[in-house]
Amino acid sequence: MPTAHGTIWHRKIPKTTVIKYAVIGNPIQHSKSPQIHNAFAHQEGVALEYTRMLSEPEDFIAHVNAFHASGGLGLNVTVPFKIAAYQNCSLLDDYAQAAQAVNTISFNSDGDWFGANTDGIGLLQDLTHNLRLELQQQSILILGAGGSARGILLPLLRQHPQQITIANRTLAKAELLAEQFATSGNVRACAYEQLDSMPYDLVINATSASLSQDLPPIPDCIVSTHSFCYDLAYSDQATVFMQWASRLGVAGCSDGIGMLIEQAAESYAIWRGYRPDTEQIFKLLRP
Ligand code: ATR
């Protein structure tokens, strides 16, 4: 299956070579990526080695180059290195360019880094394929204007929603994002207290508030029983944002586990030209 990124850049691998990929970040011990990618490899019918790499900020570039020198074929990049990866790639796909962040690195034979960002396309796949939501002509509210919000804007705008509103505690950051994406669609910015009482079709929590069990200061009137609420964060229990949405009787809500799985599948497709079936992985992570 072709990837959402169009170009697939992967090398022919001699049968005797160990197929090596890894995820680099700090912290990294919690990462579910090895479990997900090993399951993808099982589906593809190949044996690959997918490891976790812990790095200090000052060692990031050296670690990536050493991994390539040792035969590594590609890397997933997670917090806090997505921006450093973006800054050090020789080539970028358009989602990485728009996000100003890279979560997937492939190497060419000279060791140049090719950077892609599959986070937004992973979210889109979860929303439209797994959750069967229609986005065209829908009103979308994004809470937060940090790196996560930036990463999902271009793929969402390409679905031609009626409008995307970005609400953030720091209004200037939301305004800057809206300005930067204005050529890609109908996008506007506001502060939480400026949110109108019109309910949105889809509300996406792209703040980091869930990580500290917090809820952004949002009024109840932004959702109705027709709204869907999606938290980019994921957890074994419903996040605070999902609890808020359920209490208000929304049509549905989800955490970001599907986005995690789908972004991994997109990375795998870029590296290997094989798009895994993700349904089995949901069962693996949420039995
Ligand atoms: P990430 O890469 O996860 O997006 P980030 O770039 O640090 O991380 O951005 C975090 C986002 O969550 C920001 O939009 C932040 O709001 P501010 O820009 O006003 O700081 C938002 N955020 C974090 N904690 C929040 C909270 N308790 N309530 C509302 N917004 C919060």
Q: Is 209 in the pocket of ligand 1 (CB under 6 A)?
A: yes
Q: Give residue 110's pLDDT band: very low, low, confident or very high (50, 70, 90).
A: confident
How many whole angstroms separate alpha carbon 141 and alpha carbon 207? 12
In the reported structure, the alpha carbon of residue 143 is separated from the centroid of ligand 1 by a whole-number distance in angstroms of 9
Show the tokens assigned to 163. Answer: 């409008």
The ligand 1 atom nearest the CA atom of 170? 19
Least confident stretch, 2-6, 233-237, 251-255: 2-6
For 138-154, the pLDDT digits (tens) are: 999 999 999 999 999 99
Identify which has the larger pLDDT, 274 or 16: 274
Other C-beta atoms lying within 10 Å of the C-beta of residue 11: 13
Give me the pLDDT at residue 196, please: 82
Q: Is 82 a catalytic residue?
A: yes
Q: Give residue 17's pLDDT band: very low, low, confident or very high (50, 70, 90).
A: confident
Show the tokens assigned to 178. Answer: 């809206």
Per DSSP, 200 falls in state: P
The ligand 1 atom nearest the CA atom of 150? 4
How many whole angstroms separate alpha carbon 212 and alpha carbon 199? 26
The DSSP bridge partners found for residue 75 are 22, 105
Q: Is 170 in the pocket of ligand 1 (CB under 6 A)?
A: yes
Nearest to 90 by CA among 69, 61, 111: 111
Fold agreement (3-117, 120-258): yes
Q: Give residue 1's pLDDT band: very low, low, confident or very high (50, 70, 90).
A: very low
The ligand 1 atom nearest the CA atom of 144? 14
Task: Give residue 17's identity as a one-letter amino acid code.
Answer: T
Q: Is 207 in the pocket of ligand 1 (CB under 6 A)?
A: yes
Q: Is 176 in the pocket of ligand 1 (CB under 6 A)?
A: no
How many whole angstroms separate alpha carbon 287 and alpha carbon 285? 6
Upper half-sphere CA count for residue 126 (Cβ side, 13 Å) = 29
Give me the pLDDT at residue 138, please: 98
For 207-225, the pLDDT digits (tens) are: 999 989 999 999 999 999 9
Q: Give residue 11's pLDDT band: very low, low, confident or very high (50, 70, 90).
A: low
Judge if pTM exceeds 0.95: no
Nearest to 22 by CA among 62, 69, 58, 74: 74
Spatial contact of 95 and 116, defined as CB atoms under 8 Å apart = yes
Q: Does domain 3-117 have CATH number 3.40.50.10860?
A: yes
Tell me which residue has its CA closest to atom 9 in ligand 1: 146
For the domain covering 120-258, report its CATH number. Answer: 3.40.50.720
For 180-200, the pLDDT digits (tens) are: 999 999 999 999 999 988 899
Locate the domains of the chain by residue range: 3-117, 120-258
3-state secondary structure of 220: helix
Residue from 207, 210, 212 whose mutation best tests the ligand 1 pocket (most atoms within 8 A of CB): 207
